[in-house]
Amino acid sequence: MTVQYTPMSNLPYPQPADPADLPAHLKALAEALDHRTVLRFADAAARDAKVTAPIAGMLAWVGSPGRLMYYTGAEWVPAAPTPVYKINLTSGTTTSTTFVETLSTGDPVTVSFLAPASGQLLVTVGGYLWSSVANNASVMSAIIRNSSGTVSLAASDNRAALVNSVSRASVSSQFLVTGLTPGATYSATPAYRSGATSNTASFDSRFIRVDPIP
């Protein structure tokens, strides 16, 4: 069979002089189209078991957690990264002068996400903050961890919302995170601290939002 290919998608098609073997011609076309469609798999493990040699630009729907992915040539990453957001309306306090993730009441506010192809994202944390002692800080930052629980980016005053007043104030802080592994799973959790053990730092309606940068 003399193979000819379409100029745009490089798909094979038979020539007039080729044997009239319709099954063979359809098989060649189907195999050429197979990796160009949106593939469907139950999860990432099933995808990786089936697609052992992915090609840049391939698309795959992963049923769990329900996400369209594409292959960059190095990693599978979300085709359309979307923000994730979580809020805890329960008020809580701490007197710890080092960052903690759990306050006196309420659970940690953790979100999970896949790093985009750029390996970059914007994290926003905030809420209502106030202190029991004037001129003492109530500070809210965030911790980024990989899927094994290792800290990729620690909480820091340089990436924090803070209030130095006994008056309740609505504040937030946004910071850039870089150097994440594209396609890898991470989590982000707010962390809190007080400026002094004599000060009770209070936090209410605390939230975190992660915006992947494509």
Ordered DSSP codes for 60-104: EEEEETTEEEEE-SS-EEESS---EEEEE---EEE--SS-BS--S
Is the domain of 18 the same as that of 57?
yes
- Which pLDDT does position 46 carry in this prediction? 94
CATH code where residue 188 lies: 2.60.120
Residues 71 and 99 in one domain: no
Judge if 44 and 133 occupy the same domain: no
Q: How far, in Å, CA of 90 to CA of 207, rounded?
A: 11
pLDDT score at 20: 79
What's the pLDDT score for residue 124? 98
- Same domain, yes or no: 64 and 108: no
Mean pLDDT in the chain?
Answer: 90
* 147 and 62 within one domain: no
What is residue 146's predicted lDDT score, i.e. its pLDDT?
96
Domain count, the chain: 2
For residues 100 and 182, membership in a common domain is answered with yes
Rounded to an integer, the average pLDDT of 61-69 is: 87
- Going by pLDDT thresholds of 50, 70 and 90, the confidence category of residue 81 is confident
Q: pLDDT tens across 100-132, in order?
A: 999 998 788 999 999 998 999 999 999 999 999
Residue 32 in this model has a pLDDT that exceeds 90: no
Flag whether pLDDT at 41 surpasses 60. Answer: yes
Q: Does one domain contain both 144 and 55?
A: no
Question: Do residues 93 and 67 share a domain?
Answer: no
Q: Are residues 94 and 179 in the same domain?
A: yes
Based on the fold, state whether residues 49 and 108 are members of the same structural domain.
Answer: no
What per-residue confidence (pLDDT) applies to 1?
55
Domain enclosing residue 66, as ranges: 4-78
Share of the chain above pLDDT 70, in %: 94
